[in-house]
Amino acid sequence: MLLALVLIPLIAAVAIFFFGVPARMSAIVAAALNLAIALFAASSPDTVKISLQVLADPNINLNLALYDGMSTVMMMLTAIVTLAAVFSGTCPDGREKLWFSSSLLIAAGAMGAFLSTDIFFFYAFHELALIPTFLMIGILGRGDRKATAWKITIYLGLGSIVLLAGLLLAVNQIGSFAFEDLKAAGEHQNAIALLLLVGFGTLVSLFPFHSWAAPAYASAPAPIAMLHAGVLKKFGLYGLLRVAMVVCPDGLNHWLTLLVWALLANIIWVGLVTISQKRLDTMLGNSSVMHMGYIFLAIAALIANGENHIALPAAVLLMFAHGISIAMSFNLVDRIENRTGTLEISQLGGLAKTMPSLAFLFGLVAMASIGLPGLANFAGEVMVFIAGFYGWSWDCCGGQLGIIQIATIISLWGVVISAVYMLRGYRNTFQGPLVKTTENATRLTLIEKAPAIFLAAVLLIVGLYPNIILQLLK
């Protein structure tokens, strides 16, 4: 059954590209089918498992399973965002095959990566998803698409190779590819940890390897931006939690200070960069880079104290929440550009008058991204900050703050920064007098609203009842 989750989008993509089946319809059916299967699999996580041996020496297996709650959460995230993505964006005439088949390929790759319980396929499926991402940005991107696409290709290509080096070194130490055999490596922990941090970090846009992200998301067609920022990017965080934390805990501890500096740069530096953005799409792209800092903070807290049982659920919950909210933002921004023809904040204004439902939905996702209670991101961020102070008290540490606590205090300023750029962006786009670009904007149709409403509902449900995710992570 888990194999179906990978095969359905894959087969649909091949059928669309080569055999000319109706592109949009089959993509929607495949995505909906996948969500249904994912829900079913999540309800009975122990019964579904698949194992195929592809190579005897070294022993490599195509193992798909819901390894633990983290896999289940990521599987749900992938299925939800995929369904929203196939409804998003406007496909240029005559490119339907390319558009829908590459979206489905990315979905299949991401699904495979999160379900694999074997380092080999975990890595391989991610690469499968990357290539259509590169190509689509170069083919159908906005603005300076070629330069942007080449930049993301080189960054993520290099990141993947550094990652591969780290994974191979780890596998060589451990002697097995299977997740259940992973244990702390005997030697070279520091080298493995650095390679994995840089490799996974590049894929998640950890400072200073982040500069590909904002232009790529601004340029990418809506479904691609949604799938990459929402789902595929989480692969790096998932990998750090799943592989790096197990294989090289001491090595990661060795580089903890470096990681903390990098994540603070993500939150504060990139946060300030975000404030200065003049376009909505680059603002959201940068904000996505910035929010990765919080998840890294949770990971850093877990590295500093392996007993920290809040950090992991906090990271996973925030990954889920961010995935949904960033996908929703890119969906809505694409609609704004579709109606007004521009995303320059200075050329927009008063859109709430002509497009009230879009204004409401955008306001909702902006609030989610800032961290308004009641929406999923709040639950995640609060837990991250609590995790930062986990195990610390006046008595135990003589009143001295540790590195994680100081980082947490600084990171709290990120919430203020988010509020500044999100509210400013919202005000300039939706409030004030109508301007030339916005006065003739027509309202969204129901089908255009559907993906955003769907994602908003997920944000609300998880925000009001975060236990729906957290119970999986026990």
Partner 1 sequence: MQSYHLEFITVGLGFFLLMFEAFTNGKKSQLGLYAAAGLAVILALLAFAVPAPGSSGQSIPAWLENFYQYDAQARFYKIIALLTTIAVLLMSVDYSKVLNRFSSEKKNDENTGEFYCLPIIACAGLMWMASAKSLVSMFVALELVTITFYVLVTYMRRNVGSLEAGVKYLILGALSTGFLVYGIAWIYGSTRTMDLSVMAEFLNSHSELISQPALLFGLALMLIALGFKVGAAPMQLWIPDVYQGAPTPITAFLSVASKAAGFCVLMRVFSPFMEVAGISDKLQIALLIIAGATLLYGNLAAISQSNFKRLLAYSSIAHAGFLILGFAYGDQNAVSFYLGTYLLMTLGAFFILSIVGQQAESDQLSAFDGLGKKNPVLAMSMTIIAAALAGVPLTAGFYGKFFVFMAALKNGANWPILVIAFASVAAGFYYYFKVLRNMYWNAPANDTAIVVPTITKVCLIVLTLAILIVGVYPQPLQCLIGG
Give residues in contact with partner 1 (CB under 8 A). Answer: 17-18, 53-58, 62, 97-98, 120, 123-125, 127-128, 131, 134-135, 138-139, 145-146, 149-150, 153-154, 157-158, 161-162, 164-165, 168-169, 171-172
For residue 88, the 8-state DSSP code is S
φ, ψ for residue 150, nearest 5 deg: -65, -35
Shortest gap between Cβ of 237 and partner 1 (angstroms)?
Answer: 20
| CA gap 65, 41 in Å, rounded | 10
Residue entry with tokens 């979206």: 103
User: Three-class SS of residue 276?
Assistant: coil
Question: Across the strands, what pairs with 60?
Answer: 55
| CA gap 408, 423 in Å, rounded | 23
Shortest gap between Cβ of 152 and partner 1 (angstroms)?
Answer: 11
238 or 378: CB nearest partner 1: 238
Q: Which token pair is 295?
A: 């998840």
- HSE toward the beta carbon, residue 410, CA cutoff 13 A: 20
List of residues 6+ apart from 308 with CB closer than 8 A: 301, 302, 387, 390, 391
- Identify which of 212, 63, 224 has the alpha carbon closest to the alpha carbon of residue 150: 212
- Identify which of 250, 90, 63, 60 has the alpha carbon closest to the alpha carbon of residue 168: 60
- HSE toward the beta carbon, residue 153, CA cutoff 13 A: 13
In angstroms, how far is CA 172 from the centroid of its own chain? 29
12 or 404: CB nearest partner 1: 12
In angstroms, how far is CA 99 from the centroid of its own chain? 20
- Identify which of 391, 281, 390, 383 has the alpha carbon closest to the alpha carbon of residue 334: 281
φ, ψ for residue 187, nearest 5 deg: -125, 175
| CA gap 70, 315 in Å, rounded | 10
Shortest gap between Cβ of 165 and partner 1 (angstroms)?
Answer: 5
